[in-house]
Structure 1
Amino acid sequence: MRPRPLPPDAEHIAALPPFTPLTLERIHVPATEDECGQAAAEISRHGYVGFDTESKPTFHKGEASTGPHVVQFATSERAWLFQVNNPASRAAIASLLGSTTTVKVGFGLKSDRSHIRARLGAPLRAVLDLTTWFRQEGYRNEIGVKTAVAIVLGQQFSKSKRMSTSNWSLPTLSSGQQVYAANDAYGAIAVFNALNAGAAGAERRWPITGLDD
């Protein structure tokens, strides 16, 4: 029986070279129906895209989340942030979430399925949760994007606590929010692409769910 692999600790990650994030000029926040439709068409041309959601945080016991408020997708070149409170984005979001030809790749997506259905009335299909894949590889702890980037890419992925707990329901996202949200999805597709590169990637059995429900 092979020993379980151990994730790098915080000190090790802090010593790694920085991950190069997407910058604002490669991040798009479509606002109109036409812009959302064009964004969805571009995203749909890819078989795998990075995926994540952001929700306005809850601070009181028993307070129910009203999220997700932002749904983000990323390729290896750019990212798109769809604001759920914008009615013009709803059809594009639903078509992408329900697509079985574009696999949504992310981390810790178990709760996203129920939240998305409750908020949008849309199914979340064709999902590859890399947290599940790392668990299948023997990692005991839950692996998120920061640790995965360290393991696979040997780089330090920076995440801002202040941005993560910011108000994602605002009608206009700040530049900091845009960069944070886009790179959560971009980090996921960067890890996937690295894992999938070469002959070893072709032999991997990815735990994709939601292809037939």
Structure 2
Amino acid sequence: HRATRSAAATGNPPSGHFELAMTKRKRKAPEEDGVLPGPPPKKVRVEGADALVQQVFPSYPEGFPRDAPKGDELNALMQLDFRGKVHLVTGANEGNVDWTALNSAKVLGFDTETRPVFQKGLMPNPTALIQLATEDEVWIFQLLPVVGVSEVTKKRLQAVLSSSAVKVGVGLHEDYRDLCRHHFPSMKSASGVVDLQDIVRPYGLRSTGLRALAAMFLCRRIAKAQQMSNWGNAQLTQAQIWYAAVDAWAGWKLYGVMRSLFEESEQWAPPRRLLITDG
């Protein structure tokens, strides 16, 4: 426990690793672009009270909590660990990116990092990082000047992000909106987008952030120590790099588990085409 809590306090990866066993079964092909999530939960009148409407939630998988653990219960969980390859991509080494692997991936965990704004009323800073994850590799692209990737690489990134490959994560509309505002002004839509929150929205869960979902469906804890760090630094720390990699890979891992649990439900939220607005 001491080692685990120390890792949580510093944001550094723990010494141990884990593998989450999953039952393999035949997968359906991703739905075509433009298909919206399933119908909303039904509403029925409560007997004896015509004016009162009660929400009726779909059947929920047995053995999984409807709320994330907190406090000591959360701290007792093993920390989520990624033990694949992490590629930090800058303008100096962008020629080494394996675009074949990225372009051929059927599912990509997707996340971004932005230098936080601590003063109320200020506009958000430009997106500093894009993270893309497969089962055993994560690419972290630095976007800001001085060390950031070139416009050529940004165009290739835009092609990946707007393609039909499934991109999974949490809060993706905001991520896409901010990327388009500062880096990809010509990208107005993206195909194959799956926000993990949409998958569980019909079930009335109390918490649906990435860390809550990881605790509920992976039984793992995601460290938050680096969340508010300076992502605009040209030289990222090892703790920042590890944090960014885990955040993107967690989306990839969660999608596999949640798909096995919810895909047969009428409420399943398939990949869809996202229209990117500035609102």
TM bucket by the smaller chain?
Answer: 0.7 to 0.9
Give the 3-state SS of the residue equivalent to 2:78 in structure 1.
Answer: coil
Match of residue 18 from structure 1: 79
The residue correspondences of 1:64-83 to structure 2 (distance < 5 A) are: 64-83=123-142
Q: Alpha-carbon deviations, 1:11-36, whole Å to 9, x = none? A: 332232332x124x711012334224
How many Å separate the matches in 2 of 1:132 and 1:57?
25
Identity %: 26
Aligned partner of 2:45 in structure 1 is none
Structure 2 residue matching 1:147: 3-state secondary structure: helix
Match of 1:137 in 2: 203
Compared CA separation, residues 173 and 92, structure 1 to 2 (3 A): farther
Which of 47, 53, 58 is the aligned partner of 2:117? 58
Higher strand share: 2
Q: Structure 1, unaligned stretches of length 5 or more?
A: none
Partner SS for 2:221: coil
- The Cα of 1:211 is off from its aligned counterpart by 6.2
1:7 to 67, 71, 74: 67
Q: Secondary structure at the match of 1:94?
A: helix
Indicate the residue corresponding to 1:113 in structure 2.
Answer: 176
* CA contact 1:22–1:78 (8 Å) conserved in 2: no
Q: Does 1:203 align with 2:264?
A: yes
Per-residue deviation, 1:210: 1.7
RMSD (Å), alpha carbons: 2.4
Q: Which runs of structure 1 show a deviation greater than 4 angstroms over 4 or more consecutive aligned residues?
A: 2-5
The correspondence of residues 161-200 of structure 1 with structure 2, limited to 5 A, is 163-197=226-260, 200=261
Q: Which has the larger radius of gyration?
A: 2
Q: What is the distance in 1 between the residues matched to 2:262 and 2:201?
A: 17
In structure 2, the residue corresponding to 1:194 is in which secondary structure? Answer: helix
Using the TM superposition, give the Cα deviation of residue 7 of structure 1 relative to its aligned residue in structure 2, in angstroms. 0.7
Q: Which structure dedicates a bigger proportion of its chain to helix?
A: 1
Q: Which amino acid aligns with 2:218?
A: L
Q: Can you list the C-alpha shifts for 1:11-66, whole angstroms capped at 9, x where unaligned?
A: 332232332x124x711012334224x2x321222111111000011111221122
CA 1:7–1:62 in 2, change beyond 3 Å: closer, same or farther?
same
Report what 1:95 is aligned to.
Answer: 159
Matched residues, number = 203
Runs (5+) with no aligned partner, structure 2:
1-55
Preserved contact between residue 89 and residue 149 of structure 2 (Cα < 8 Å): no
Shift of 1:123: 4.1
TM-score, length-scaled by structure 2: 0.65
In structure 2, do the counterparts of structure 1 residues 73 and 155 end up closer, same or farther at CA, with 3 Å as the change threshold? same
2:220 aligned with 1:155: yes
Cα distance change, pair 7–83 in 1 and its aligned pair in 2 (3 A): same
Letter in 1 for 2:229: S
1:97-137 Cα deviation digits (max 9, x unpaired): 1112x111001223112211111223451211001211123
